[in-house]
Structures are given as structure tokens and as C-alpha cells.
Structure 1
Amino acid sequence: MMILVGYVPTPEGEAALEAAAAEAKLRGGSVLLLNTSRGDAYIDSRYANQEELAAAEAKLRAEGVDVAIQQALASGDVAAELLRAAAQDDVELIVLGLRRRSPVGKLILGSTAQRVLLESPVPVLAVKVAQPRD
């Protein structure tokens, strides 16, 4: 079983990475880590550098999970890149990290996660960053 994780070097991306590792261990699968950029800026903090990718790979391998890494510059459409990767690599599950959004932000259509959730031909696991409890 191949599990696709949309990875960015943020707390949301780390939460998605942890969930993908847990699912891969549970299902006896491997992980395809996809990191992409919107391509709309010269510097994009979501586009992982080699050190960040190596750390993500090491985390998965330490959990006993096989991993392949793909990194691409998107043409401004990260959702399309995720859906393309899912179709080309026989992915059976997509894992995405979600960020907290304001009530107004939730009304705005066009988010990457929303599009993947609506258009994916395979199940999608959406993960939020764990918040400390009071």
C-alpha cells in the first residue's frame, strides 16, 4: 500500500508526516512524501530544503517505514500536483496537514486541502496539529 503525504516543513506538515508513518505501519505500506511549491514567489518556506527532506526521511525510516521523496515546483496549483501524484503512483491514501483557519477563512473556497478532499479518488486523512489542553 502506498500512502501519499503532502509535506511542508511546518507543524501541520510534521503532523501529517507522523500520521502517514502511523498509517504505513498499521497497513504495512510505504510513504510517498511529496513537497511542492506554489511557484508564486522566489522564496517559499513551504518548499523544503535538502536538510528538511533528509530529516523527514530519517523520521520515517526510524519508524521502519519505506519512503520515496518527490519534490516539484508547481505551476501555482499544489492540489493538482497532489492529485497527479496520487493517480500516477497507485496511491491508496492521501494524508494532509490542516492549519487552523478563522471563521471567515473557512468561507473562502479554493484551499488546497478542500480541493484534494473533494476531488481525490482515494480516501484522504486530514490531520490537525494537536493543541495543548488547559
Structure 2
Amino acid sequence: MTVVVGYVPGPSGEAALEAALAEADRRRESLLVVNVGLPDAANDPRFLDEGERVRLADRLLFAGAAFEIEQLVRGRDAADELVEAAARVRASVLVIGMRRRTPTGKLLFGSQAQRVLLDADCPVLAVKAPG
């Protein structure tokens, strides 16, 4: 089995990654890190550039995790990509980071986290960044 984590640079992504590492260790499972970008990934701050990807891989190696990093730029919604990745690898758990949003922001843009929670076939662990 595999622990899948949706990762974006920043506090919510870091919180999700730490929780996913702990889950993978506790369950003795591998980790699939999924980073989703917009079609113009070069201008998407959520998409890891090569240096960030190498630093992430080094961090996971140092933590002793068995892992794979998957970067997707297919123009699909991040929630859809995460749910699909979790189903494809038959994830034991899908870990996502939460960020604080205003009620207006939630109304206008919807909630990726809510869609993952409702659509995933496996348990979902949603974590908030400290602060």
C-alpha cells in the first residue's frame, strides 16, 4: 500500500508532507508525493522547479522514506489529479494540506479540499499548517 500526499510549496504543503511522512512510517508504506501544476507550470508558484524537486527528494531520502515524486501538468484540477492518483495506487490514505480562506473565497473558487474529501475512495487526512 501507499500513502499519497498532495504537495505544494508553502505552509500547507509542508504540514501535509510531515503528516504523510509520519503516516508512511507508522504504516510501513511507501510515499507518493503528487505536485500538480497549471499548463504554464513555469509561472505556477505551486509547481516545483527542478531545484525544489531535488531538495524535496533529498529531504525524503534523509527521512528514510521510500518515495516517488509525481509532477502532473495536464490542465486538470488538482483535486481530480489527487483522487485519481490515490485510486491508481490503491492508497491506504490520502493526505492534503488545508489553508485558511475567507467565506467569499470559498464561495467564488470552491474548495479543492472539500472535493477531495467527498470524492476519494480511501480515507483522507486533512491537516492545517500551524499558525
- If the length of structure 2 is used for normalisation, what is the TM-score? 0.90
Deviation at 1:28, TM superposition (A): 0.6
Q: Which residue of 2 aligns with 1:21?
A: 21
Query: For residues 39 and 110 of structure 1, what CA distance do their matches in structure 2 show?
Result: 20
Query: For residues 43 and 123 of structure 1, what CA distance do their matches in structure 2 show?
Result: 32
Moved more, 53-62 or 118-127: 53-62
Cα distance per residue 1:33-66 (max 9 Å; x no partner):
1111133676100011111112222222222111
Deviation at 1:120, TM superposition (A): 0.5
Query: Contact between 1:94 and 1:125, CA under 8 Å: does it hold in 2?
Result: yes
Query: For residues 32 and 130 of structure 2, what CA distance do their matches in structure 1 show?
Result: 23
Q: Which amino acid aligns with 1:15?
A: A
Q: Which residue of 1 aligns with 2:115?
A: 115
After superposition, where does 1:4-83 map in structure 2 within 5 Å? 4-39=4-39, 43-83=43-83
Q: Which consecutive residues of structure 1, in runs of 5 or more, have no partner in the other structure? A: none
Q: Which consecutive residues of structure 2, in runs of 5 or more, have no partner in the other structure? A: none
Question: What RMSD over aligned residues (CA atoms) do the two structures have, in Å?
Answer: 1.7
Moved more, 61-70 or 114-123: 61-70
Moved more, 10-19 or 32-41: 32-41
Cα distance per residue 1:81-123 (max 9 Å; x no partner):
1111111112111111111112333445632111001110000
Query: For residues 50 and 40 of structure 2, what CA distance do their matches in structure 1 show?
Result: 20
Query: For residues 4 and 128 of structure 2, what CA distance do their matches in structure 1 show?
Result: 17
| Matched residue SS, 1:91 | coil
Q: Which amino acid aligns with 2:63?
A: E
Q: Which amino acid aligns with 1:69?
A: I
Q: Which residue of 2 aligns with 1:90?
A: 90
Aligned length: 131
- If the length of structure 1 is used for normalisation, what is the TM-score? 0.88
**Percent identity for Structure 1 against Structure 2:** 47
